[in-house]
Structure formats: structure tokens, C-alpha cells
């Protein structure tokens, strides 16, 4: 899930002929500007914009001034979009940093780079969902999101209790949140915890005791449950992940 299958760069380019991809394509404009042409319309972009293209969507890319970009193909992406969309990076260029670092590791000869690339796949997809602003979050979804972000590191946080305290059907809230955010409230909670855990493990020195501490800091009272969730996200235990990163 969210596996990066290819990352490339275009130096100054003026046109890309009509083509499709079997995977999702995310294109970050690093210079110049232009327009993507789809069967149902066009999307104009400039520096700092990211165009997200669903699988098997025919498209062309044209520019009078020329463009440069980093383009990433992601298979089985957990993106909620059915049509091409465009998002814009923030002023600190956080998404560009993720794209650039992913490009470096994908094309490097670093041993066991697969785990690092997998982490970037998840990070970039989460950025795409978070930065998508074609419509504002409904008030109740924004309220749930804010509460999760405020409490996700708290081992005593009871998301179900919070959801049931809101005067709407529990199932309705789950479906509404998923329709707006691309994932359920519980998956969003775990994604925040896993991103934090992955960053801490990459800092090195994660022995058994430290892994228990990381679990607690990331909102898990049970280290074994933390390890199960982590393995589901990253394909290996926290200990193995940390040892491979250290090599």
C-alpha cells in the first residue's frame, strides 16, 4: 500500500505526449509552469503545485516557457480522489522536501533502502490528503481531526468515547470522516502515531527498552500492540526497522 514504483525528474521540458500509467502519478512542478490536458479539461500549474493523476487517466503536459518537475508513481495509493486534482505546497516547501528525499533514496545504492522508500510513500500520500483543499472540511470533520491531532500521543485517549459524545450517529461520523479525509478516524489516529514512531526509530539506538518508550510516547500503552500496528504499516517490527535504518 502506497508503494513507490518509480521516481524521476524532468529537466527543462516543453511537452509530454499523451500517455497513461497503471499507477497513480504525482507531479511536483519545481520550475516554470504549464498545463496538464485531460479528456475532460485542463489543469494549469506553476512552481510549488502538485498535480495528482489517478491510474489509467490519459494526459498530456504542455508548456510554452518550459517546466521542470519530480514525478512519482505510487501503486495501491490510499488516495480518495476519483479525478485529477491539484494541491499547492506550503511556504516552507514540506512536500518538496519529501519528494526530493524520496528521489534521492529511490535512486541511491543504499542497502535496505526499501523501508525508507516505503515510509516516503506513506508520507507523500498523507501530505496529498492533508493539503487537498478543493472543498473545506465540514465543521464536524474538522472538529474530529483537531481532537485527534491534539490527543494522538495520549495513551489514555479514547477515540470511540469522543465520537460517541458527538450528537450524530457513530457510523455516520465514520463514513463522513472517511469521505472527507480518505480514511476512518481510527486509521487517521494510527497514521499520526506511526509517522511519529517512524521518525523516532530513524534517530537510532532503538533497543527493546527504547522501543517500549517510543510506543508510550506515540500513544500506545501496550508495546506488543504497537509492534503489530507498526508491522502492518511498514512490513517489519520496530526493532528490525531501526536496525536496518542504522546500517
Q: How confident is the model at residue 134 (pLDDT cuts 50, 70, 90)?
A: very low
Residues of the chain with CATH 2.60.120.280: 3-131
200-240 pLDDT per residue, tens? 888 765 555 688 899 999 999 999 999 999 998 888 888 88
Residue 27: C-alpha distances to residues 5, 65, 97 (Å): 14, 17, 14
44-91 pLDDT per residue, tens? 999 999 999 999 999 999 999 999 999 999 998 999 888 899 998 888
What average pLDDT score do residues 142-168 get? 92
Residue 111: C-alpha distances to residues 6, 67, 124, 202, 204 (Å): 18, 33, 22, 15, 16
CATH number of 3-131: 2.60.120.280
Residues of the chain with CATH 1.10.10.60: 136-247
Cα distance between residue 166 and residue 164, in whole Å: 5
92-121 pLDDT per residue, tens? 899 999 999 999 999 998 888 988 999 999
CATH H superfamily, domain 136-247: Homeodomain-like (1.10.10.60)
Residue 197 near residue 170, CB atoms below 8 Å: no
Mean pLDDT check: name the lowest of 33-42, 133-142, 164-173, 188-197.
Answer: 133-142
Res. 26: pLDDT tops 70: yes
Amino acid at each position: 500500500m502506497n508503494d513507490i514504483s518509480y521516481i524521476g525528474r524532468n529537466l527543462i521540458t516543453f511537452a509530454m505526449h499523451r500517455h497513461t500509467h497503471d499507477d497513480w502519478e504525482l507531479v511536483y512542478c519545481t520550475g516554470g509552469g504549464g498545463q496538464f490536458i485531460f479528456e475532460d479539461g485542463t489543469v494549469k500549474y506553476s512552481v510549488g503545485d502538485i498535480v495528482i493523476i489517478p491510474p489509467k487517466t490519459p494526459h498530456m503536459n504542455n508548456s510554452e516557457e518550459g517546466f521542470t518537475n519530480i514525478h512519482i508513481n505510487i501503486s495501491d495509493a490510499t488516495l480518495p480522489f476519483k479525478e485529477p486534482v491539484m494541491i499547492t505546497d506550503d511556504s516552507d516547501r514540506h512536500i518538496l522536501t519529501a519528494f526530493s528525499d524520496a528521489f534521492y533514496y529511490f535512486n541511491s545504492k543504499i542497502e535496505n533502502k526499501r523501508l525508507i522508500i516505503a515510509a516516503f510513500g506513506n508520507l507523500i500520500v498523507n501530505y496529498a490528503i492533508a493539503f487537498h483543499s478543493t472543498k473545506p472540511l465540514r465543521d464536524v470533520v474538522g472538529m474530529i481531526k483537531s481532537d485527534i491531532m491534539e490527543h494522538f500521543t495520549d495513551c489514555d485517549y479514547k477515540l470511540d468515547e469522543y465520537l460517541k459524545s458527538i450528537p450524530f450517529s457513530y457510523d455516520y461520523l465514520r463514513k463522513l470522516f472517511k469521505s472527507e479525509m480518505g480514511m476512518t478516524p481510527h486509521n487517521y489516529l494510527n497514521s499520526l502515531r506511526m509517522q511519529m514512531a517512524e521518525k523516532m526509530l530513524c534517530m537510532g539506538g532503538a533497543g527493546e527498552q527504547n522501543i517500549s518508550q517510543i510506543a508510550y510516547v506515540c500513544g500506545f500503552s501496550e508495546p506488543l500492540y504497537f509492534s503489530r500496528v507498526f508491522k502492518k504499516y511498514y512490513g517489519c517490527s520496530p526493532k528490525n526497522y531501526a536496525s536496518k535504518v542504522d546500517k
